[in-house]
Amino acid sequence: MINLFILVLIFILFLGVLFYIFNFNHLLIILLGLEYLILILSLLFLMNLILFIKQFILLLLFFIFCISERVLGLTILIILVWVYGNDYLKSIIILQC
């Protein structure tokens, strides 16, 4: 039962990576894809901690790094929208030339 759950999580993680690879037009979509991957990775990490390690302080550290990544991504999104007026990444790359 646990092995089936882990296999389903790995399959969902693979689908999230495919979504992240093929949708890179808007920064908000990229950030949502990263949040999806972090959610699946945290579930896999939690299953690993419950089954093998039994030290939940590592999960707390993982969540601290996830929250700091979220704050950094939202800050970049706000600055990008404030400076350029949108979050469309291809128009920003053209403006750099």
Residue 90 has pLDDT above 80, yes or no: no
pLDDT band at 71 (very low <50, low <70, confident <90, very high): very high
Q: Domains in the chain: how many in total?
A: 1
Nearest to 19, CA basis, from 8, 7, 6, 31: 31
pLDDT band at 93 (very low <50, low <70, confident <90, very high): low
CATH number assigned to the domain comprising residue 87? 1.10.287.3510
Task: Write the pLDDT tens digit of every residue in 6-48.
Answer: 888 889 889 888 887 887 788 888 888 888 888 888 888 888 8
Give the predicted TM-score (pTM) of the model.
0.76
The pLDDT-based confidence of 96 (bands split at 50, 70, 90) is low
3-state secondary structure 44-97: HHHHHHHHHHCCCHHHHHHHHHHHHHHHHHHHHHHHHHHHHCCCEHHHHHHHHC
Which structural domain, as residue segments, surrounds residue 48?
2-96
